Amino acid sequence: MVRKLTLQGLQSCQGTVDLPGSKSIANRALLMAALGDGTTELNHLLRSDDTARMLEALAALGVGIEELSATCVRVRGCGGRWPKQPEQLYLGNAGTAMRPLTAVLAATSTAPVLLTGDARMQERPIGDLVDALREGGATVRYQQQPGYPPLVLEQALRGGEIHVDGSASSQYISALLMALPLLPNDSHLILTGTVVSWPYIELTLAMLRDFGITVEQHGKQGFSIAGRQRYQSPAAYWIEGDASAASYWLGAGVLGGGPLRIEGIGRKSIQGDIAFIDYLQQMGGRITVHDEYVEVNGGQLRGIDADLNAIPDAAMTFATLALFAKGRTAIRNVANWRIKETDRLHAMATELRKAGAQIEEGADYLIIDPPAQIQHAQIKTYDDHRMAMCFSLLGFSAAGVTIEDPDCCAKTYPDYFSELARVT
């Protein structure tokens, strides 16, 4: 039986929350440290399903990983040459492991390797990345459905001029930026289409600099990348709090009145999802941003109409906050919601209607008219961690909410609901 959790009539939200480390930063840092020269100590590491899949893959490739504490590991880099060549790597539903490993192993593996995942991963497209790898000389073979995992990497990537469509996922671009410096040849990466989630590309570029890699950027459509580069260990690397996960606490701090202090993000954050704060302030949230923490003190919400293409993960939280807002909310330019852990546009529309909202679902937008009174709803989570955490905010309504399979949060935030109980 799938576990269910009912939240109802939460009156306040106050105290201090220490965010778990960012999933996006954690899996990039693990891979960069593994590729580097020297040993890197990664601090404030998120322990979740996604990072577990990356750690398992690196161990299978022969990378030495020593666990110093629950949130600190020491990675012995292999200088871009894997000590082991496994025939297969299983990556579950971890997109932040599948996409970069596909590109990096295409650049570095000396023997064929099969990359596969769970049933949902086999529905998540990877064709645009594979097309780019093939243009750069790699041989990649689909085992089942063209354009989707599982896939076999055979002949190695060579480099040169490579085009990648950035309109579906920025992870394809980040994966190539991580792989191309390892090649014997120089490369020129040209982005086509309207690039989504640009802040995640900036995050990758910032981390590459931290690990000693140089990339020359030409506007927002091109990069020159010298080959024969080597990742350098920064000795110690701190993984900042997950700005996407912060969105639930920011929402809870507004709905529950605060004061709620959220540690791990702030003005110094390198994650694009920190922009969620700006939009929440526009909605009426009272938020003060400090260098390394944020404080929330309630607020009265009103609907907004916003292009949230740059922050697609955090944008989901606006969909549930819209039910508490005065007036209509429009969430626009989020077509890539459809290729995440589930089809999030359709899932959000379906579940919001259960709470009484009037919803217009477009190809790349949601328009939400809140109900006069939120109705109790049993929310299907679609094995998607963000669905569970977003809809937890309906616990601040009188009617409340029942969430199916709250344990799906293990993907990025295993302790979320126990933390929510502690501060509400």
Average pLDDT over residues 81-96: 96
Please give the helix or strand (H or E) that residue 103 lies within, else none.
Answer: helix 95-108
In this prediction, residue 168 has a pLDDT band, given cuts at 50, 70 and 90, of confident
Q: Is the pLDDT of residue 1 over 80?
A: no
pLDDT at 60: 98
d(C-alpha 251, C-alpha 222), whole Å: 37
* Predicted confidence (pLDDT) per residue in 353-401, tens digit: 999 999 999 999 999 999 999 999 999 999 999 999 999 999 999 999 9
Q: Is the pLDDT of residue 210 over 80?
A: yes
Q: What is the maximum span of the chain, computed from C-alpha positions, in angstroms?
A: 62
Exposed, middle or buried: residue 86 (CB in 10 Å: 0-12, 13-18, 19+)?
middle
Average pLDDT over residues 217-239: 96
Average pLDDT over residues 243-266: 97
pLDDT at 378: 98
Distance of CA 24 to the CA centre of its chain: 5
d(C-alpha 275, C-alpha 202), whole Å: 14
Which residue do the tokens 């995640």 mark? 200
Q: Is the pLDDT of residue 175 over 80?
A: yes
Distance of CA 423 to the CA centre of its chain: 25
pLDDT at 361: 97
pLDDT at 68: 97
pLDDT at 412: 87
411 is in an annotated binding site: yes
Nearest partner of 308 among 324, 295, 294, 319, judged by Cα: 319
286 is in an annotated binding site: no
124 is in an annotated binding site: yes
Residue 313 appears among annotated catalytic residues? yes
336 is in an annotated binding site: yes
Q: Are 261 and 293 in contact (CB under 8 A)?
A: yes
Letter string b/e over residues 180-199, b meaning 16 or more CB atoms within 10 A of that residue's CB = bbbbeeebbbebeeebbbbb
In this prediction, residue 2 has a pLDDT band, given cuts at 50, 70 and 90, of confident
At 184, list the tokens: 């014997």
pLDDT at 84: 97
325 phi/psi in degrees, rounded to 5:
-90, 155
169 is in an annotated binding site: yes
Please give the helix or strand (H or E) that residue 290 lies within, else none.
Answer: none
Options 50, 313, 384, 405, the catalytic residue: 313
Pairing assessment for the beta strands 329-332 and 358-361 based on DSSP bridges: unpaired
Helical pair 170-179 and 23-35, crossing angle rounded to 10 deg? 20
Distances (CA, A) of 359 to 59, 98, 362: 46, 33, 10
Q: Is the pLDDT of residue 160 over 90?
A: yes
One DSSP character per residue, 306-328 reads EE-TT-HHHHHHHHHHGGGSBS-
pLDDT at 163: 98
48 is in an annotated binding site: no
340 is in an annotated binding site: yes
pLDDT at 164: 97
Q: Give the full edge-to-edge strand order of the sheet including 140-142.
A: 88-90, 113-116, 151-153, 140-142
Determine if residue 147 is left, alpha or beta; phi over 0 gives left, psi from -120 to 50 gives alpha, anything else beta.
Answer: left
Nearest partner of 244 among 33, 39, 48, 37, judged by Cα: 48
125 phi/psi in degrees, rounded to 5:
-65, 145
Q: Are 275 and 58 in contact (CB under 8 A)?
A: no
Q: Is the pLDDT of residue 219 over 90?
A: no
Domains contained in the chain, CATH given: 4-20+241-423 (3.65.10.10), 23-216 (3.65.10.10)
* Average predicted confidence (pLDDT) for the chain: 96
Q: Which segments within 204-340 are labelled E, that is strand?
A: 216-218, 222-225, 236-238, 257-263, 285-289, 293-299, 305-307, 329-332
313 is in an annotated binding site: yes
128 is in an annotated binding site: no
Distances (CA, A) of 277 to 14, 140, 295: 18, 41, 11
> pLDDT > 70: what percent of the chain?
100
- Threshold 0.75, pTM exceeds: yes
Q: Is the pLDDT of residue 341 over 90?
A: no
4 is in an annotated binding site: no
Q: Are 21 and 71 in contact (CB under 8 A)?
A: yes
Average pLDDT over residues 316-324: 98
* Predicted confidence (pLDDT) per residue in 275-304, tens digit: 999 999 999 999 999 999 999 999 999 999
> pLDDT > 90: what percent of the chain?
94
